[in-house]
């Protein structure tokens, strides 16, 4: 039986709420936290578990049981000091993945330096996109072109290494169309189907979103 991942979202502005809401709507266990009781009261109308707390406090992190959370998303870009403390405390508590929102390159460097595993910039619907990426286990990134079609980056699986695209026939097996290959940050759209794949390669594909379930 597959173990359900747990998430915590710190900071319930528009971005944080978007992340938490999509995760909850997809059946994930989410702990939503904000320091403003009014914001928490509002979020509690559609998020099952909401707490009013200061996540820059070590005792609070312990009381919230953050050490048992798989992924923490810190959405407090307007308060760099609190974000830095939250990242540090979460990593010290043993959280495997800490994602932090930032508002500029300097904040990004600082948050990465104190231990954030990933730093994201705010953008239109980026909170929803981040949540969908988290839900799309095995996918590096996912962009919805429509309700039915998505562009996805996929790591080459261990069992695919040493085999070429003709041999694998991914289109027939999974219903995906490979539009490019990325290796060492270099993207090639002129894909050679006879070239053997290796673990350093990423496939960029277009697929029917529903069929992507086969790849998870």
Residue 2 pLDDT:
47
Residue 90 pLDDT:
96
Residue 137 pLDDT:
47
Domain extent for 12: 6-135
CATH number of the domain that residue 146 is part of: 3.30.70.1450
Block mean pLDDT (10 aa), the chain, length 216? 78 89 86 96 95 95 95 90 94 93 88 90 57 53 55 80 88 79 75 86 75 62
Where a domain ends, among 135, 159, 192?
A: 135
CB 102 within 8 A of CB 89: no
The answer to whether residue 102 is domain-embedded is yes
d(CA 180, CA 127): 26
The answer to whether residue 146 is domain-embedded is yes
Q: What is the pTM of this model?
A: 0.62
Element (H, E) at 181: strand 176-183
Q: Where are the alpha helices (DSSP H) in 44-114?
A: 58-63, 80-92, 105-113
Task: Order across the sheet with 149-155: list the strands.
Answer: 139-144, 149-155, 201-208, 176-183, 186-188
d(CA 172, CA 113): 44
d(CA 125, CA 198): 33
d(CA 8, CA 124): 22
The answer to whether residue 1 is domain-embedded is no
Residue 29 pLDDT:
92
Distance of CA 135 to the CA centre of its chain: 7
Question: In this structure, which long-range contacts are made by residues 179-188, counting pairs with CB atoms below 8 Å and at least 24 apart in sequence?
Answer: 179/151, 179/204, 179/205, 179/206, 180/204, 182/153
Where a domain ends, among 110, 135, 160?
A: 135
């Amino acid at each position: 039986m597959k173990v359900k991942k747990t998430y915590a979202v710190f900071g319930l502005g528009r971005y944080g709420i978007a992340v938490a809401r999509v995760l909850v709507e997809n059946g994930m266990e989410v702990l939503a936290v904000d320091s403003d009781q009014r914001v928490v009261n509002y979020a509690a109308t559609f998020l099952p578990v909401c707490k009013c707390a200061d996540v820059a406090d070590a005792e609070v992190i312990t009381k919230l049981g953050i050490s048992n959370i798989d992924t923490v998303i810190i959405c407090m870009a307007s308060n760099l000091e609190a974000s830095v403390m939250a990242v540090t405390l979460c990593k010290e508590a043993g959280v495997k993945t800490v994602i932090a929102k930032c508002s500029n390159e300097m904040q990004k460097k600082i948050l990465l330096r104190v231990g954030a595993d990933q730093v994201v910039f705010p953008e239109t619907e980026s909170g929803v996109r981040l949540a969908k990426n988290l839900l799309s286990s095995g996918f590096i990134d996912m962009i919805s072109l429509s309700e039915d079609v998505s562009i996805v980056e996929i790591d080459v699986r261990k069992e695919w290494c040493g085999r070429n695209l003709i041999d694998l026939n991914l289109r027939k097996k999974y219903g995906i169309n490979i539009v490019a290959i990325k290796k060492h940050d270099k993207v090639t759209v002129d894909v050679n189907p006879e070239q053997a794949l290796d673990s350093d390669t990423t496939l960029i594909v277009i697929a029917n979103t529903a069929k992507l379930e086969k790849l998870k």
